[in-house]
């Protein structure tokens, strides 16, 4: 008796399931994303399309949104990769209803609905609140540095940019001097520079055109065959005339004059006075990005901020190029606005942050609203305090953190926010922005954090994964 194996016949013709519901199990993430999109308010997406139905049919915005959310949830943000997955991956095919939107359509959808995608963060937060996942008694604030879609070698200061512009202008001048010599480059040809010769040539050209037009005025034959032959001859004549015009245009262009007689500048104005030089540097690829200090040196990118709960739900996400010291009060204010917009009546009770957020004015403003702040004024190690941080607030914060309650509360900060960044940057490979400009990157960061919340909601509501 031979060995017993399950047959593997790749030539066997299969009858595919007639329903997309049979392609994926009921508890799959794709079905969850589709159901979540159906529960969201998508008026901001649909309002940008014509209501009368005129024009070329567009892909359903709800389908495109579900496709993007599922792609971001699984760590796929490239429009070309998403296009390929719509052909190769069953889950993507189910979400796209067996359609394959091309990468340009996907990219344009992100650009067109940039603001709506940014506001989608609140819709997902509201779904998490309905599931009982948002508890803001204790919240944690932290930031992480993300690479911009730009190289740090593209940074230029004003002097460097001015030097490159002037060097390019000198190169253009040298090329035009070699081509035109001492001429401006827009002079008429020698045969047309004299007014008498020019009038005679124009008269000759007019007579030639009239003779050619008269020769082409042939009677139209009555039979169909004759008309076809006449049309063929005229097409051949038009083609010959077009070829002659192109040759004349190329000849004019070689002499530095356009076909319509427009002149070209042969050299830049002399003694150009530059404006006052601004301070700092700018990146020529993404001017909004900056060199920000990360764990290992500096990188060209942004400072991504997030406020999280004890359940690791992100309740506020923003993007900046400034340091953490100026972000404490703005981020807590943003968290309160996001909670109010999502219909959550809770208010933060305790705010946790690391020493990089120490800002006496911000701490006092938050405490005035009835919210406790636990934030070390310097590293929680034995040693001398930093200069300028000795006083009432410094002493009070040290005393609060030295108590058992304060130490226990502050001990939650690390596992409340840092695993969120680790999951985003390493598990989902979102450590670099794909778009350029602060507004585009802010929208991308809020979609990334929104899909983080969506995954937390999926794991919470799916019994098989609970």
8 Å CB contact between 302 and 283: no
Hey, what are 411's tokens?
């001990």
8 Å CB contact between 310 and 135: yes
Number of H helices, E strands in the chain: 16, 8
DSSP code per residue over 265-310:
--SPPSSPPPPPPPSSEEESS-TT-EEEEETTEEEEEEEEEEEEET
The alpha carbon of residue 348 and the mean position of all alpha carbons in its chain are separated, in whole angstroms, by 32
The three-class DSSP label of residue 315 is strand
Per DSSP bridges, beta strands 138-147 and 297-309 are antiparallel
Length of the chain as a residue count: 466
Type and span of the H or E element at 155: strand 155-157
Q: Which of 119, 138, 103, 100 is nearest to 43 (CA)?
A: 119
d(CA 411, CA 417): 12
* Sign of the C-alpha dihedral computed for residues 409, 410, 416 and 419 taken in this order: negative
Hey, what are 177's tokens?
């001097």
8 Å CB contact between 355 and 394: no
The alpha carbon of residue 425 and the mean position of all alpha carbons in its chain are separated, in whole angstroms, by 17
Hey, what are 65's tokens?
């949104």
d(CA 364, CA 341): 25
Q: How many CB atoms lie within 10 A of CB 324?
A: 21
d(CA 282, CA 152): 10
d(CA 300, CA 291): 4
DSSP code per residue over 110-138:
HHHTHHHHHHHHHHHHHHHHHTT----SE
Indicate the burial class of 107 (C-beta count within 10 angstroms; 0-12, 13-18, 19 or more).
middle
Q: What is the DSSP letter of 152?
A: G
Q: Bridge-partner residues for 245, per DSSP?
A: none
The three-class DSSP label of residue 149 is coil
d(CA 425, CA 306): 13
The pLDDT of residue 279:
46
Hey, what are 246's tokens?
């192109």
Residue 87 half-sphere exposure toward CB, CA atoms < 13 A: 8
Q: What does each C-alpha distance from 414 to 305, 310, 353, 400, 403 come to in angstroms? A: 15, 11, 9, 18, 18
d(CA 178, CA 331): 60
The three-class DSSP label of residue 390 is coil
d(CA 79, CA 111): 12
Low-confidence ranges of the chain (pLDDT < 50): 257-279, 382, 465-466
């Amino acid at each position: 008796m031979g060995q017993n194996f399950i047959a593997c016949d790749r030539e066997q013709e299969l009858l595919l399931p007639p329903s997309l519901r049979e392609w994926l199990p009921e508890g799959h993430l794709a079905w969850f994303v589709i159901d979540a999109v159906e529960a969201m308010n998508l008026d901001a997406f649909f309002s940008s399309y014509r209501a009368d139905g005129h024009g070329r049919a567009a892909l359903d915005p709800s389908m495109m949104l579900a496709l993007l959310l599922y792609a971001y949830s699984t760590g796929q943000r490239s429009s070309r990769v998403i296009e390929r997955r719509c052909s190769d991956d069953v889950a993507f095919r189910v979400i796209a209803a067996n359609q394959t939107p091309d990468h340009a359509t996907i990219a344009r959808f992100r650009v067109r609905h940039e603001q709506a995608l940014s506001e989608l963060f609140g819709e997902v937060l509201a779904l998490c609140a309905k599931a009982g996942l948002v508890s803001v008694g204790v919240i944690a604030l932290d930031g992480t540095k993300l690479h911009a879609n730009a190289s740090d070698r593209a940074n230029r200061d004003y002097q460097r940019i001015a030097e490159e512009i002037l060097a390019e202008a000198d190169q253009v001048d040298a090329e035009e001097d070699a081509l035109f010599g001492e001429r401006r480059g827009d002079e008429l040809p020698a045969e047309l520079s004299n007014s008498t010769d020019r009038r005679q040539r124009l008269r000759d050209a007019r007579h030639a055109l009239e003779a050619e037009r008269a020769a082409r005025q042939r009677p139209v034959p009555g039979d169909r065959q004759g008309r076809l032959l006449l049309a063929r001859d005229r097409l051949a004549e038009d083609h010959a005339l077009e070829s002659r015009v192109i040759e004349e245009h190329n000849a004019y262009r070689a002499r530095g004059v356009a076909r319509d007689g427009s002149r070209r500048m042969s050299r830049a104005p002399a003694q150009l006075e530059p404006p006052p030089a601004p301070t700092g540097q700018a990146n020529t690829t993404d001017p909004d990005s900056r060199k920000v200090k990360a764990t290992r040196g500096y990188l060209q990118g942004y400072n991504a901020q997030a406020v999280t709960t004890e359940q690791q739900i992100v309740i506020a996400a923003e993007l900046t190029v400034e340091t953490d010291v100026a972000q404490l009060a703005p981020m807590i204010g943003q968290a309160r606005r996001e909670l109010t917009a999502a219909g959550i009546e809770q208010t933060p009770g305790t705010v946790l942050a690391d020493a990089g957020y120490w800002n006496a004015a911000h701490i006092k403003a938050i405490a005035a609203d009835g919210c406790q702040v636990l934030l070390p004024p310097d590293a929680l190690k034995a040693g001398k305090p930093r200069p300028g941080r000795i006083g009432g607030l410094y002493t009070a914060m040290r005393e609060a953190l030295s108590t058992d309650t304060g130490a226990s509360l502050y001990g939650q900060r690390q596992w409340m926010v840092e695993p969120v960044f680790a999951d985003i940057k390493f598990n989902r490979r979102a450590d670099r922005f794909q778009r350029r400009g602060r507004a585009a990157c802010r929208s991308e960061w809020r979609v990334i954090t929104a899909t983080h919340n969506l995954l937390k909601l999926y794991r919470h509501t799916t019994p098989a994964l609970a």
